[in-house]
Structure 1
Amino acid sequence: MKTPVKILITDDEADIALILKLHLEDQGYETAWAKDGETCLAMLAKDTYSLLLLDIRMPGMSGVEVLEKTRQSGCDTAVVMMTAHGSESLAVDCMKKGAQDYVAKPFDLNDLLQRVERAVENRITLLEKQRLEQEKDDFVSMLSHDLKNPITAVIGSIDIMREGRLGAINPEQAEYLQSAIDSCNEVVSMIDNLLDIHRFEAGRMPMKIRPENIHEIISSLTGRLTMLAQREEVKLTVQLGSDLPTMDVDRRALTRVIGNLLGNAFKFTPVDGEVKLSCHTISSSSVEELEIPPYAISQSPTLLDSDRLLCLSVKDTGSGIPEEDLESIFDRFVQSRQSSRAQGGAGLGLAFCKLAVQNLGGIIWVKSAIGSGSEFMILLPCKEFQA
């Protein structure tokens, strides 16, 4: 049996409330009446209502105050304001504060019922959306614990075999085992990117901003990636300016961004190709020479107000990216049509890079053309540490 929709009518005029109760109950709704704002809030605290029909003008606590307190409490009850003719502007203001709709007195019955039905349906839709969002949160948490941890254990087990601690292996076996480790690490990287993208979008990504030596961060990362470049048979060149500052950044986020860009560059660069990482500082007056596209400027409109900027570039000699894909490849689950599934990836690495760079106050973009390789560019404000 379908549970009746419960509606709370709040109006200091008992005769109007009675008329509303009769009409709504004829339509199958279950109703209750509160004679003032204080009673209304007390009833909302004790029971769940799908809809609150709320009179704007009441003695004591006004309908506007009730609406504000209802929204502040986190109550998800839909609210339709009731107002006399001539007070529509006030009702519109209430909608800006969280009401779904308003009806004018004296009521047109058909109009009232339509607005009530629409408000109830909208609330059901909103609750369903919230349920799906919660399921998404639960799924992301599951990725973190139920998938990532077992894969990490698999990597450790394979690495023990690769190192020969369970018996001697030949070079061909070592190569296959290393390939298995690389594939597992790629899955872990996808999970990490997905988790962090979700945290960024939900506003729950902790950023540990502290003074960091940029030269040391890049040198440490590229040192670890040298063997990967050798396995991919790609030349890695690193050019770091002598003026790299100690500046306030999130070390983990910046390292992940650079690592993602280098990993992509290795993946899409053919054997005997070259990947070049460069980093230096520039003045704001030199920015025009970079030919920054509009989509990048919009990521952090105030960035160019900085006097000094950190400019980081990762350039490869790969197949390049079509012009029409240059902006969209920074979106989730998007890959350039020039890439192939054989090269792996889920279209998450660049989406993470964009969100991380934005949260560091910077911008990211790509310069590329088919057959001419790609160059990913990052600008960050030089917020130098003051000892």
Structure 2
Amino acid sequence: MNERLPAIGQSELSTQGLLRIATAIETAATLDELLMLALNEFVQGLGVSLCGVLQLDASGETIALVSTFPPRVSLPPPIPLRDLPLMQHALQHRQSLQIADIAEILQQGNRSPTAINLLQTLLEAQVRSLLIMPLVAQDRVIGALAFATLQQPRRFDEQEVSIARLMSSQLAAAITAFRTIEEAEHRNAELATLNDIAAAVNSLLDPRDIYHLVMEKINQFFRVDAGSLLMLDEETGELVFVMTLEEGQEKLVGMRVPPGLGIAGYVARTQQYAIVHDPDNDPRFYRAVSEGIGYDVKSILCVPIVVKGRTIGVIELLNKRTGHFTEEEAIRLNRMAATIGIALENARLFQQVSTVRDRFEAIVNSTSDGILMADMRGVIVASNLAAARLFYRSRDELIGRRIDDVIAELMARAQVVEEPAWLNDGAPHRVVEIELAEGPVRYVRHTILPVRDAGGMQIGQLALFENIEKDRELARLREDYTGMLIHDLRAPLTAIMNGIMMVQRGLGGPVSPQQQELLSIAHQGSQTMLEMVNTLLDISKMEQGRMTLSLEPLSPYAVVDEAIERLRAYAQQRQISLFQDLTAGLPPIEADREKIVRVLQNLIDNAIKFSPFGGSVTIGARHLSLPVSINGGTHPQIPLSLPALPAGEWLIYWVRDEGPGIPPQYHARIFEKFGQVQQHKVHGTGLGLTFCKLAVEAHHGQIWLRSREGMGSTFAFALPVAQ
């Protein structure tokens, strides 16, 4: 039917063909079937050798041959419309385009390389003439209908062009109708796929199972040979293959693509999908992955996975089984990727939260310390097993109760409640040590800490109950061992000192002046060590409440004189002036002479030690009569503020130096055993002030200090006049 028919015959044939086309439209089940039936009729109706349908993409920038009659096994890739100016002009103006002889057009030159290549391909296929009719439906050009003759040139007359226009308009309407139906079916299939993925994300726990199902559904929906899901490593910027399915087989898992490389890197960076019909000639193509597994990549569709404006990965489909990837498919996959991204991100966050929750629960349950967490209303929202045992309740019983009520119940069971100064000095949170009469834990250190979110806002509070039973036991063992060791040191020290004294007196023979000096140094060192031993023993006895005080009436002046006399030589050695500021008429006190003298001696000794050469130390005393109890404050006769004191008669002693001062954080710590100020270059045993505190408290008095860095220190203690 390549020869032109008479006009009447053509008219009859075209009418019959149009009727058969209408029948085909009514009976065709798919768009492919419709195109095949219609093109068959078009070939017969116009007496041509070939007929084909070209489709514009959604943007109208490229055009592709999607169906031919006779059918072809493979179809050429899409061509940018700008490279085919004749066809572009015809489609823009909705006019027919007729090429009577392709050979003549090719010889004219002034064609784009793409157009020249296309014309040469047509000639090699023996195509000589073309008639192209725009496909217009709903006032929109959707493609073109092409008629071709082989070997011999041919010019279509006006009647044939009119018949072709009728055919094209009928076909365009049918294509649009089928596309609407197919779009609805695709949308339903797309929603079904997304529903399956969402259901899998909600039901599967292993991320790898989720990735496998996602790619399995995507590959089936788009009918591709292989597909990959790559997730972005935010730390390195690399894309990581988390799942690649080729014919149902997993591959490439764990392989990484350097930042920005490959089609996937380009898509991740630009957040724009990419369709590649000829990867080998695309400079963005990253061959290392496909060459590594020997896979032949023929076409690529890659879309970004974007969640809240942030790229979290890409989906890459390879080698579409039928035809080429289209813009419509890219838009559809892009739309699906957005939904899949939210599902994957939610699954990742859920997995992260679950992992953190499981780890947190494992940590808090593995500790022997009790932990309670309450919200801002003070209601317990979490508890560990140790806390449940401590409060004799299950975790479910604790949750929902007020944390203050639970702690009050614990305090009611306590025999002893202490607030250690070394823990509370300068600490932002109150620390309490509790001794319980019964239960799995006898000694507990308790504190409450604020719980804050990432922005620093408080969202609750955390109550900690630390089991310090082992700490207490170790402290008892240490004290017992120290007491035993110190007690056993007294006998050999006394023997050493007696031996030195006998040698000094010449019982072992004549002693030279130089030997006398050395023996005196040894005796003084032994005396200092003995005093240290006695101090430790006294501290130990006072801590245990076993110290017996030898109370007697004492003159306040005599006590100061005796303490100064013991340190006069030391003060002269350091060129320190000792001043007394004692008012007349100080009443006698009832106290243990040796203990109070040693208290003053220790305070004066420290003042001399930390004062600069040539400085001064002042020892003062005042009598204070308090008709009522006070909670602290100042008094005109006392050079520093007072602590809380009960009503009665009090004798206040103080020792003021010109030393470097003591930072506030050390004010309570220096009274602890072995407590010292780390910044000071001069160090002692750390026992003197501990003895002072215990000795004063044994007399029902109080000791305190006032000090500022660089301004010197004043230590004071108050003793009741009558015991």
TM-score, structure 2 normalization: 0.32
Q: Which of 689, 713, 720 is the matching residue for 1:350?
A: 689
Equivalent position amino acid for 2:717 in 1: I
Distance 2:611 2:720 in 1: 30
Shift of 1:204: 1.1
Label 1:98 to 1:318 Cα distance change in 2 as closer, same or farther (>3 A): closer
CA-to-aligned-CA distance 1:219-270 (integer Å, 9 cap, x gap): 2332233223223432222333321222221222211211111221222223
Q: Does 1:284 align with 2:626?
A: yes
Equivalent position amino acid for 2:482 in 1: F
Q: Which has the higher helix share?
A: 1
Equivalent position amino acid for 1:372 in 2: M
Q: Which of 477, 483, 499 is the matching residue for 1:140?
A: 483
Q: Which of 582, 588, 613 is the matching residue for 1:271?
A: 613
Q: Which of 663, 677, 683 is the matching residue for 1:336?
A: 677
CA-to-aligned-CA distance 1:170-192 (integer Å, 9 cap, x gap): 5x876665554444333323322
Label 1:228 to 1:169 Cα distance change in 2 as closer, same or farther (>3 A): farther
Contact 1:309 1:379 in 2 (8 A): yes
CA-to-aligned-CA distance 1:300-342 (integer Å, 9 cap, x gap): x5x3312x321111122222222332222111111112323xx
Distance 1:151 1:162 in 2: 16
Other-structure match for 2:650 = 309
CA-to-aligned-CA distance 1:111-138 (integer Å, 9 cap, x gap): xxxxxxxxxxx9xx97996687366325
Q: State the aligned residue count.
A: 266
Pairwise mapping of residues 348-387 of structure 1 onto structure 2 (< 5 A)? Answer: 348-383=687-722
Structure 1 counterpart SS, 2:709: coil
Distance 2:503 2:575 in 1: 24
Contact 1:318 1:374 in 2 (8 A): yes
Label 1:174 to 1:362 Cα distance change in 2 as closer, same or farther (>3 A): same
Shift of 1:163: 7.7
Equivalent position amino acid for 2:707 in 1: S
Larger radius of gyration: 2
Equivalent position amino acid for 2:693 in 1: K
Equivalent position amino acid for 1:140 in 2: G
Structure 2 counterpart SS, 1:259: helix
Other-structure match for 1:100 = 439
Distance 2:540 2:704 in 1: 21
Q: Which ranges in structure 2 are unaligned for 5 or more consecutive residues?
A: 1-391, 393-409, 415-435, 441-466, 628-632
Higher relative contact order (CA 8 A, sep 6+): 1
Q: Which has the higher strand share?
A: 2
Distance 1:197 1:224 in 2: 21
Label 1:159 to 1:193 Cα distance change in 2 as closer, same or farther (>3 A): same
Distance 1:377 1:128 in 2: 33
Other-structure match for 2:659 = 318
Label 1:336 to 1:131 Cα distance change in 2 as closer, same or farther (>3 A): closer
Label 1:190 to 1:98 Cα distance change in 2 as closer, same or farther (>3 A): same
Pairwise mapping of residues 1-387 of structure 1 onto structure 2 (< 5 A)? Answer: 98-100=437-439, 133=476, 136-144=479-487, 146-158=488-500, 167=510, 169=512, 178-284=520-626, 287-289=634-636, 290=638, 297=643, 301=644, 303-306=645-648, 308-340=649-681, 343-383=682-722
Contact 2:576 2:617 in 1 (8 A): yes
Label 1:202 to 1:272 Cα distance change in 2 as closer, same or farther (>3 A): same
Distance 2:704 2:683 in 1: 22
Distance 1:163 1:262 in 2: 33
Structure 2 counterpart SS, 1:137: helix
Taking only aligned residues, the RMSD between alpha carbons, in angstroms, comes to 3.9
Distance 2:612 2:705 in 1: 19
Label 1:161 to 1:154 Cα distance change in 2 as closer, same or farther (>3 A): same
Label 1:267 to 1:99 Cα distance change in 2 as closer, same or farther (>3 A): closer
Structure 2 counterpart SS, 1:136: helix
Structure 2 counterpart SS, 1:353: helix
Q: Which moved more, 1:193-202 or 1:178-187?
A: 178-187
Structure 1 counterpart SS, 2:646: helix
Contact 2:655 2:715 in 1 (8 A): yes
CA-to-aligned-CA distance 1:149-171 (integer Å, 9 cap, x gap): 3233434444566788865655x
Structure 2 counterpart SS, 1:227: helix
Structure 1 counterpart SS, 2:678: coil
Structure 1 counterpart SS, 2:620: strand
Label 1:135 to 1:334 Cα distance change in 2 as closer, same or farther (>3 A): closer
Structure 2 counterpart SS, 1:361: coil
Label 1:255 to 1:322 Cα distance change in 2 as closer, same or farther (>3 A): same
Contact 2:486 2:536 in 1 (8 A): no
Contact 1:310 1:379 in 2 (8 A): yes
Shift of 1:273: 2.1
Contact 2:673 2:686 in 1 (8 A): yes
TM-score, structure 1 normalization: 0.57
Equivalent position amino acid for 2:485 in 1: M
Equivalent position amino acid for 2:617 in 1: V
Distance 2:668 2:586 in 1: 29
CA-to-aligned-CA distance 1:37-65 (integer Å, 9 cap, x gap): xxxxxxxxxxxxxxxxxxxxxxxxxxxxx
Distance 1:325 1:135 in 2: 24
Contact 1:243 1:280 in 2 (8 A): no
Other-structure match for 2:177 = none
Contact 1:292 1:365 in 2 (8 A): no
% same residue:
30
Distance 2:661 2:718 in 1: 21
Equivalent position amino acid for 1:191 in 2: V
